[in-house]
Structure 1
Amino acid sequence: MKFLPIVTFAVALCVAASAAQARPLEAVRQDGTLRIATEGHYAPFNFFQGKQLTGFEVEIAELVAQKMGLKPEWKTLSFDALLTGLQQDRWDVAIASHAITAERAKAVTFAAPHYCSGGTIVSMAPKLRRASDLAGKVVAVQTGTTYAAEVQRLPGVRAVKNFPSDTDARSALVSKRVDAMVTDRFIAKELLRKSPQAGFHMGEMVTVERIAAAMALGNTGLADAWSQALQAVMADGSYAKVAQKYFQEDIRCPAGR
């Protein structure tokens, strides 16, 4: 889902890498602890219930860590600092609904995707359903997401407004400061489920994305081990159980994606 649309992003991470060395798989195994970072404010994927960090990605990551024989150690911070921190050796893994993109792949190493989704239109007007309906409209997105760039490419969009969080974008929509917002498909479904009387309408997807955990650039040993453990979690039925809990459907990527 999320993407820093800055040309210098990969360069900044590479500079940071010179100051610290990411822990390879062997060092992580010796320590016995897997340091995992997430945002913590992106329900139902990663969020707090009281003081307890939870969500689909949190539960999946903990299952993966268990398969790897490691104890997860969680860190939460702003989304835009997650990938940079990988190259500063502040944590081993970042999992916060990061879409796999060519630009990001220059800066981090992705594991296998743990779900597929896409940017979906949400509005207070039933007629705003398709990408073409956004012509002449002001559209809200969360800062740092792939959706900002994707919406800007849509023909005729009047303006794209960035907000610090998905919640802020939603507030702008409710207060009619924008005509629509583009957010993750599952976030949109959860929004409509939790607030059926609020007047939200869910339109079509404008993007399709593969979402994966990220490791420091070149840390392929750790990424491969994570991917193998994720495959085991998907094979033993535990992935489907967690997906059903949060989405009432299996959200893994179809074969070939």
Structure 2
Amino acid sequence: MTSSRVAPAAMLRPGDIGAGERRLAIEAPVAVEVDGLGYAVMMMTPAELEAFAVGFMLTERLADSAADVADVDPFAGEAGWIVRVTLAERCRGRIHDRVRHRTSDTSCGLCGIAGLEQLRRPVAGRTPAPQAKAAALFAALDGLRARQPLNAATGAAHAAAACDAAGAIVATCEDVGRHNALDKLIGTLALAPQNADFFLVTSRLSFEMVDKALVAGVAMLVGVSAPTTLAVEHARLHGLTLVALARPDAMLVMNDPWAAFPLP
């Protein structure tokens, strides 16, 4: 699946106009069908769709493990991509409780939610204590750029990386949508488990990003941008270590329930 393509452009300069070109990240509608029912249409990069489907089923609570996703069939249609997901028999009743066909853009939205009362969906278990120290966070941040080929080519893709306690990046996924990148990462880890202590994302830390990290059972979520109020509250409610505004010279610890980064 191609993630980018070159498009012609005009290059404007103070004294002239010339011909140019730009490599663009592909953004396409991807319709997700679950057990024959339309669930969501995601605007995303149509790559790693199998991993995305598994991660999306997990973070939407339609499945509890990769084994609950019996089959994933992605294919290109005339208007975009279609991903047909078949769930295990024990999970099939869930889709009827929350199915809703909607269009999601690349910035926000919770799929399959009919009302505000369904917003706080259950999170299984208590978040573990992170093993990584400050040096590991900076090491992961330093190594992330080299793991973002789509963004290097286009400047238009978010990344989500799984990192071990030493700060080594064990898996990375990219997408034009930050939610989609994280779902791809969660699906990748569900299909081929890695020793991941924390997630590092190149986006703001919103409620949805915290919620997905909680579903994945990761110990800590680190983001290069700022958090929202609801993201911090959600992290505090469930004991997720949350680090924001990750820069090469400083980071901001927003929630530290395990005293992983104690003040001197």
**TM score, norm. by length of structure 1:** 0.26
Query: Which structure has the highest strand share of the two?
Result: 2
Query: Which structure has the highest helix share of the two?
Result: 1
Higher relative contact order (CA 8 A, sep 6+): 1
